[in-house]
Amino acid sequence: MKKIVTIIGARPQIIKAAALSRAIKNHFQNKIQEIIVHTGQHYDANMSEIFFEELNIPKPDYNLNVGSGKHGEQTAKMIQGIEEILINEKPDALVLYGDTNSTLAGAIAASKIHIPIVHIEAGLRSFNKRMPEEINRIMCDHASTLLFSPTSTGYKNLINEGFKELEEGPFHIDRPKVYHSGDVMYDNSLHFSKMAKEQSSILVDENLEAGSFILGTIHRDNNTDIPERLTAIFEALLEIAKEQKIILPLHPRTKKKMNEVLSSNLLNQISNCNNLQMIAPVSFLDMVLLEDSSKMIITDSGGVQKESFFFKKPCLILRPETEWVEIVEAGAAHICDADKNMILKSYHEFMVKPPQHFEGIFGDGKAAEFICDEILTCL
């Protein structure tokens, strides 16, 4: 029996972890024991608790209840808590997802006490080190032993950074193994989309007609914290809302920052705009149904960009660059930054000519099983 400790903390990690926990439950129950540690980075019920029951994720064995804070303060508390757990649990490996502060904390804690790290969603790069996530993911990749990249671009990024294409073990932090594994979030979208259609009542609750609205999400720090950028995004959304209903499940960071950085005039226009419907963060099944039923998606989220591709929807990316370059190259997404004119131009282009190519970039829907198999074989 291999014992793994999984670190989760932010919303997308809780969702990603569902795929591996499901694969363990269905295929590796007698071979892998999973201990789940929640750092408490996200803690509102609709950013954390809501997902556990709905996605059938085992409840965390530990919760560090770290909460929000400055980068150093938050990460330091996590490192301390994770180190303690790793010393007590003595796992064969630590599983980390993505690029949040919870990921970085896990990477530092485990590598210093020589516990092999499995990094899921390895190799992604924005080549923009002003993003906290870019720092987190580079540091984590370079402390890992098994690196699973969801895309071929991610795999190539690792090779370009000096990772070798090794077949024969032993594998360890100085001799890591890199994979192009496919994306566990694609596994999840396939698994949960039917369930979403059967169980979610979000369209009725929000009075939405399938195919007749645009879905938006905003939460990146360089959008929420920079007044000119958040202003440009909302001005563009107000312009589009003259023609289309837009539904915007608001991340708590954005809700808080809007009131701080937007002018009272713009806040008034937003609250008087019936077509711009802001709601609290929704459950994953609700989100999947919203994505699947939308006509277009406008987002700065990494996860939501990909899901727009899974559900064959055009996507306007509210960032200056993306790690998911394949969806832009396929013509399914446009990089619009926080530029009002670019957002409106791409919106009009996609309304007239929706993208046609949504070929498989993200694997075969069995990435989590593949990862479990490799953990058993290589560690």
154 binds ligand UDP (CB under 6 A): no
327 binds ligand UDP (CB under 6 A): no
Q: How far is the CB of 101 from ligand UD1 (least distance, A)?
A: 4
Region binding ligand UD1 by CB under 6 A among candidate stretches 93-101, 110-118, 171-179, 270-278: 93-101
Identify what 140 binds: ligand UD1, ligand UDP, none; CB under 5 to 8 Å per kind: none
12 binds ligand UD1 (CB under 6 A): yes
Identify what 304 binds: ligand UDP, ligand UD1, none; CB under 5 to 8 Å per kind: ligand UDP
Which of 6, 7, 8, 11 is in the footprint of ligand UDP by CB under 6 A?
A: 11
Which of 5, 15, 238, 372 is in the footprint of ligand UDP by CB under 6 A?
A: 15
Instruction: Select 249 or 363, whichever has its Cβ closest to ligand UDP.
Output: 249
Region binding ligand UD1 by CB under 6 A among candidate stretches 94-102, 107-115, 170-178, 225-233: 94-102
Phi first, then psi: what are they for 30, rounded to 5°? Answer: -90, 0
41 binds ligand UD1 (CB under 6 A): yes
Identify what 132 binds: ligand UDP, ligand UD1, none; CB under 5 to 8 Å per kind: ligand UD1
Tokens 């980390």 appear where? 96
Map the footprint of ligand UD1 across residues 243-262, applying CB under 6 A: 252-253, 256
Rounded CA-CA distance 139/148 in Å is 15
Which of 287, 289, 325, 333 is in the footprint of ligand UDP by CB under 6 A?
A: 287
303 binds ligand UDP (CB under 6 A): yes
Listed in sequence order, the residues at least 6 apart from 42 whose beta carbon sits closer than 8 Å to its beta carbon are: 9, 10, 11, 14, 48
Listed in sequence order, the residues at least 6 apart from 33 whose beta carbon sits closer than 8 Å to its beta carbon are: 1, 2, 3, 4
| Binding residues vs ligand UDP (CB under 6 A) | 11-12, 15, 217, 219, 249, 281-282, 284, 287, 301-304, 307
